[in-house]
Structure 1
Amino acid sequence: MSKEERIMNEYYTSDWDIQADYLLDYDVFDKVARFHQSTTFTYKKNQIPKGVRQDLYTWLLENERKLSLPKNYISKVKLNDFKLEQRNSPLNFDNQYIIPFKLLSEILHRSFGADKKSKSRSFPSAGALYPIIVLVLVFDKSKIDGIVDNGVYFYNVYENSLLQIQKWEKNDMEKIANAFYLNEGFPSPIAIGYSIDMRKSLLKYRTKGYRHALIEIGLMAQRLREVLISITNNTFGERCWSGFSDNSLTYYSGLNVRHSPITLVQWFGKRMENHDI
Structure 2
Amino acid sequence: MSISHDHYLKYTSPSVLDETLAFHAKGNYVIHKTTHHLSTLHQLPPSALGKLTGNELQLNILACENGQGNIELTGLPSPHPLQRNSSCERFNERPLHFDTVRALLAPLLEKDSTTGKRGYPSGGALYPVEVFCIKLTNTIQQWPSEQSALHLLPSSRSFEVHTPDLNSKPLARAILPMTADIGSPSLALIYFIYLPKALFKYRYRGYRLALMEVGSMYMLTDLRCKELKLGSRPWSGFTDHQVSKYLNLNPTLFLPACIQLIG
CA–CA distance in 2 between the matches of 1:176 and 1:212?
29
CA–CA distance in 1 between the matches of 2:48 and 2:251?
35
Moved more, 239-248 or 42-51: 42-51
Name stretches of at least 5 consecutive residues in structure 1 with no aligned partner.
Answer: 1-10, 270-277
**Percent sequence identity over matched residues?**
21
Tell me what 1:193 maps to: 190
Equivalences, count: 251
| CA shift for structure 1 position 22 | 2.2
Cα deviation digits, residues 42-63 of structure 1 (max 9, x gap): 2444222456777442221223
Q: Against the structure 1 CA distance between its residues 264 and 196, is the aligned structure 2 distance closer, same or farther, given a 3 Å change threshold?
A: same
Moved more, 176-185 or 243-252: 176-185
Tell me what 2:117 maps to: 120
8 Å Cα contact 2:90/2:182 also seen in 1: no
CA–CA distance in 2 between the matches of 1:217 and 1:225?
12
Cα deviation digits, residues 40-85 of structure 1 (max 9, x gap): 1224442224567774422212232222222436553223454234
Q: Against the structure 1 CA distance between its residues 205 and 228, is the aligned structure 2 distance closer, same or farther, given a 3 Å change threshold?
A: same
Which residue, out of 216, 237, 243, partners 2:231? 237
Where do residues 74-89 of structure 1 align in structure 2 (5 Å cutoff)?
A: 76-85=70-79, 86=83, 87-89=85-87
Tell me what 2:105 maps to: 108
Tell me what 1:251 maps to: 245
Cα deviation digits, residues 130-178 of structure 1 (max 9, x gap): 0000110112244243333343211011233221213577x75146415
Which residue, out of 1, 5, 12, partners 2:2? 12
| CA shift for structure 1 position 179 | 5.5
1:158 counterpart = 2:148: no
Q: Structure 1: which 4+ aligned runs deviate by more than 6 Å?
A: 51-54
Question: Normalised by the size of structure 1, how large is the TM-score?
Answer: 0.80
Name stretches of at least 5 consecutive residues in structure 2 with no aligned partner.
Answer: none
| CA shift for structure 1 position 185 | 8.6
Question: Normalised by the size of structure 2, how large is the TM-score?
Answer: 0.84
Amino acid at match of 1:12: S
Which residue, out of 15, 22, 26, partners 1:34? 22
Q: Against the structure 1 CA distance between its residues 186 and 258, is the aligned structure 2 distance closer, same or farther, given a 3 Å change threshold?
A: farther
8 Å Cα contact 2:191/2:214 also seen in 1: yes
